[in-house]
Chains A and B, each alone.
Chain A
Amino acid sequence: MMSQPLNGGRALRIGLVCPYSWNSPGGVRSHIEDLALALIQRGHWVNVLAPVESPEQELPDWLTDAGVPVAVPYNGSVAKLRFGIRAMARVRKWIDVNDFDVLHVHEPLAPSVSLLACWVASGPIVATWHSSAERSRVLNASFYIAQTALEKISARIAVSESARRYLVSHVGGDAILIPNGVRVQAIAERARRTSKEPDALAFLGRIDEPRKGLEILLAAMPAVIRSVPDVHLTVVGPGDASAQIARMDTDIGQHVTFAGKLSDDQKIEALARAQVYVAPHTGGESFGIVLAEAMAAGTAVLASDLEAFSVVLQEGRAGQLFPTGDSQALANAIVALLNGPDRVQELAGAGRLRVRDFDWDTVVDQVLAVYEAVTVNGDKVTEDLRGQLVGRWMASR
């Protein structure tokens, strides 16, 4: 109902800022890409600023290269971020040249181009919080820097209830809740052209990232194999599989395929082929867009009972939950599902209904309402020159 553009609603010039490398797949990056495409489709002018690892690669014309990111440990894992005085000069130029109506910064506290953009811009700034990391060192150590940037943000969005609560308790203030978007139609279409395989399981996520919980799933496999001898698990995601393979018994190895990093389409096919998508995450997820993708692909979801997951799965009505980190419970749940096709059908049907709430169309309506609420008087995004001597000097060279 929020949808329809207002009478006289004008096309906006929108600047989106992605703090993480455009080359590594991830929830924030794909959120920004999907949002950008959806906004362009609605007739708005969009430009995305993101770090790019290989400058010579072909970029879409709505993307601006913020420079080569550096891999640094951040928030419990390694992230590729872009910072420094040269980065600051690029952000400044990007804001100066593009004459934006609204600047939409993602993860504004990530020490990358997001924070820099908040720092050098003023005017209508919207920020989206994605993660609900338990604690952030940035907020403790240099809260003052963060605060100065934060105070410029006119409108705050959180993608999940846990991200919103994190914001309220650690940063102060409130945020509008707008959940993540999924291209439901496109995924369902591709999934329809893929046929299900019996006794197939799927796992998605970095292999060497412990919070994705692959270890827990592999520990459950022996018990599953005893009850369902033909079970097959496909592990999709980047990372070095050799350590996992070395640790596994060969008779388990026969039941597991490491598919490596796949394209988005191949990823959807892998999800659609499986009877059950398993999400054994142990933490750090604020939304779990993959859960919604699996639901859109018509695959039953079995996930750990993290709070974010149980919200997406409606406390187990749109997918099954198991106690986080409990391999034995996971094994039992997998066996029960693979032996109970009716239940799998039921969960897949419930998931297809639930995922409509996360369709990009719904999300873009809500995001546009926020843009309109902060830009209705025609304020523009401009450079904030206060106390920025070094950046100004770099930009002038």
Chain B
Amino acid sequence: MTWWLAVVFVVLACVFALYLSVTAGRLDRLHRRIDSAQANLSTLLLRRNSAAIELASSGLLDPASSVLILNAAHVARECADDTLADRSFSESALSAALNAALDESHEPDEPGSTGLEHQLITEVVALGTRVQLSRRFLNDAVRACRQVRQQQLVRIFRLAGHTAWPQTMEMDDALPVGLGPR
């Protein structure tokens, strides 16, 4: 009889080991997805930063708007090497500066005719759209990863190793009113 029990025990142990290995594989995949999503978002934020500086230096905007944008862009640039979570504040400030400069909706008396269809502005808005998308994709990946990492077995067996608890990126990435996608 003990012979039987031993077989059952070994089979169960194998199934359990397989489960742990598959789950570790899943976690690894999710972490890699988060890494590449973070890298994409970081690149897009930098590109948006460059596009904002280019726009502010082009003479297309009034001097006050230019100073606002340049200022915010330079602050964000200085934080570029920090973790994404630490850049949230400076990047949100850049969004706010861009929105304040490009949003015409608070001046309803003089609609249009501000040359807002210019290529440089289109570029800033297009990059803003991609930042929005990229941030959503990152946060989706983080949520999926957290779900797995919260499982009891994953915590007991430390399947996530030394990887830091994944962080979502929270920032103001709203687009200028009237310029965003529908």
- Is B63 at the interface (CB under 8 A from chain A)? no
B33 cross-chain contacts in A, Cβ below 8 A: 151-152, 154
CB of A341, distance to nearest CB on chain B (Å):
33
Cα distance A172–B30 in the bound complex, in angstroms: 15
Which of A2-10, A218-226, A260-268, A274-282 lies at the binding interface? A2-10
Number of interface residues of B (CB under 8 A): 35
Q: Does A151 contact B180, Cβ atoms closer than 8 Å?
A: no
Which of A63-71, A327-335, A367-375 lies at the binding interface? A367-375
Q: Does A377 contact B36, Cβ atoms closer than 8 Å?
A: yes
Q: Does B30 contact A151, Cβ atoms closer than 8 Å?
A: yes
Q: Does A376 contact B181, Cβ atoms closer than 8 Å?
A: no
B147 touches which of A172, A174, A357 (Cβ 8 Å): A172
- Is A23 at the interface (CB under 8 A from chain B)? no
Q: Does B26 contact A373, Cβ atoms closer than 8 Å?
A: no
Cα distance A377–B144 in the bound complex, in angstroms: 22
CB of A183, distance to nearest CB on chain B (Å):
19
CB neighbors of A among B117-152 (8 A)? 119, 122-123, 125-127, 129-130, 133-134, 136-137, 140-141, 143-144, 147
CB neighbors of B among A165-199 (8 A)? 172-174, 176
Could you give, for residues 25-49 of chain B, a 1 whenever the CB lies within 8 Å of some chain A CB and a 0 otherwise? 1100110110011011001100100
- Is A379 at the interface (CB under 8 A from chain B)? yes
Q: Does A173 contact B25, Cβ atoms closer than 8 Å?
A: no
A376 cross-chain contacts in B, Cβ below 8 A: 40, 43-44, 47, 130, 134
- Is B179 at the interface (CB under 8 A from chain A)? yes
- Is A386 at the interface (CB under 8 A from chain B)? yes
Cα distance A68–B30 in the bound complex, in angstroms: 34
B136 touches which of A174, A366, A375 (Cβ 8 Å): A174
Q: Which residue of chain A has the shortest Cβ distance to B21 in the bound complex?
A: A387
B36 touches which of A2, A3, A173, A379 (Cβ 8 Å): A379
Chain A interface size, as a band, is 20 to 34
CB neighbors of B among A111-159 (8 A)? 122, 124, 147-148, 151-152, 154-156
- Is A1 at the interface (CB under 8 A from chain B)? yes
The SS class assigned to the B binding surface is helix
Q: Which residue of chain A has the shortest Cβ distance to B25 in the bound complex?
A: A386
Q: Does B123 contact A176, Cβ atoms closer than 8 Å?
A: no
A379 cross-chain contacts in B, Cβ below 8 A: 36
Given A173-B140, A173-B144, A369-B126, decide whether A1 and B179 contact each other with a Cβ distance below 8 A. yes
Given A1-B180, A1-B181, decide whether A373 and B137 contact each other with a Cβ distance below 8 A. yes
Could you give, for residues 357-393 of chain A, a 1 whenever the CB lies within 8 Å of some chain B CB and a 0 otherwise? 1000000001001101111110100000011000000
Cα distance A394–B104 in the bound complex, in angstroms: 61
Cα distance A124–B137 in the bound complex, in angstroms: 11
Cα distance A70–B149 in the bound complex, in angstroms: 39
B36 cross-chain contacts in A, Cβ below 8 A: 124, 154, 377, 379
- Is B182 at the interface (CB under 8 A from chain A)? yes
A148 cross-chain contacts in B, Cβ below 8 A: 22, 26
CB neighbors of B among A236-264 (8 A)? none
Given A151-B30, A152-B33, A374-B40, decide whether A6 and B127 contact each other with a Cβ distance below 8 A. yes
**Closest 10 A/B residue pairs (Cβ):** A373-B133, A373-B134, A2-B181, A373-B130, A377-B39, A376-B43, A155-B137, A376-B40, A2-B129, A173-B140
A-B contact pairs, 19 of them (CB 8 A): A1-B125, A1-B126, A1-B180, A3-B126, A4-B119, A4-B122, A4-B123, A6-B47, A6-B123, A122-B29, A156-B140, A172-B147, A369-B129, A370-B133, A373-B40, A374-B134, A376-B43, A376-B47, A377-B36
Question: Which residues of A pack against B, CB within 8 Å?
Answer: 1-4, 6-7, 122, 124, 147-148, 151-152, 154-156, 172-174, 176, 357, 366, 369-370, 372-377, 379, 386-387
Instruction: Other than A1-B180, A4-B123, give 5 A-B pairs with Cβ distance below 8 A.
Output: A4-B119, A4-B122, A154-B33, A369-B129, A369-B130
Question: Which residues of B pack against A, CB within 8 Å?
Answer: 22, 25-26, 29-30, 32-33, 36-37, 39-40, 43-44, 47, 119, 122-123, 125-127, 129-130, 133-134, 136-137, 140-141, 143-144, 147, 179-182
